[in-house]
Structure 1
Amino acid sequence: MHAIEERGRITARVSQPVAEKLQEAADLTGATVNQFLVQAALEKAEKIIDRERAIRLTLEDAAMLINLLENPSKPNSALLGAFERFKDKVENGAFRSNSGSGT
């Protein structure tokens, strides 16, 4: 038995010239207007999502980032102090987990 896939519905009202242009494009691709619209909208959605999720750097930005990774600056006093506080907590058992201890 095949699982039934839930489907959503999207509707749009357009002017007659727009409807005719969409129909012509759909006919040229051998699709129904609905198939054409869904495919076109999906392609556009994927481009927008990809564009918004990507981090784009100029060549100068990329060079600066690589330089910072390859040549990190020395830790300042605030970072050194935070590390010492963290180390003290670890040594005093503040980060021990009770999971799996049986209690």
Structure 2
Amino acid sequence: MNATQEKERITARVSSAIAELLNEAADLVGTTMNNFVVQAALKEAQRVIDREKAIYVSRNDAAMLLDLLDNPPAPNVALTRAFERFMKEKYGKESSSAGQNAQYERV
């Protein structure tokens, strides 16, 4: 471990009843109240991050998404026009695949 590692300080004001409860829990697991609070906060922070970053879908929805990835629908008129407009604005040229294979053109 790096001895010059910077450390931050976190302070919290709690009632004496909460402080007693945290001290008792820390004593029961054989650690300091500070370490107990930090570990509990880390565990909760990781749980929140995991929950917020995950996307949960049903089996049916997952099957539908995989099917769409394997068999994408053909581009509709609006998508084809948008692609043509993008190619013209970004590269100053018309797409060589006017509509039918626009989704497969490599840019």
The offset of 1:20, in angstroms, is 1.2
Aligned to 1:35: 35
Deviant stretches of 4+, over 6 Å: none
| TM-score relative to the length of structure 2 | 0.70
The offset of 1:80, in angstroms, is 2.9
| TM-score relative to the length of structure 1 | 0.73
> Which runs of 5 or more structure 1 residues have no equivalent in the other structure?
93-103
Q: Are 1:78 and 2:87 matched, yes or no?
A: no
Q: Are 1:9 and 2:19 matched, yes or no?
A: no
Q: Which has the higher contact order (CA 8 A, sep 6+)?
A: 2
Task: Describe how 1:51-66 pairs up with structure 2 within 5 A.
Answer: 51-66=51-66
Q: What is the alpha-carbon distance in structure 1 between the residues aligned to residue 11 and residue 84 of structure 2?
A: 61
Kindly report the root-mean-square deviation, in angstroms, between the aligned alpha carbons of the 2 structures. 2.3
Query: What percentage of residue pairs aligned between the two structures are identical?
Result: 57
> Which runs of 5 or more structure 2 residues have no equivalent in the other structure?
95-107
In structure 2, do the counterparts of structure 1 residues 34 and 77 end up closer, same or farther at CA, with 3 Å as the change threshold? same
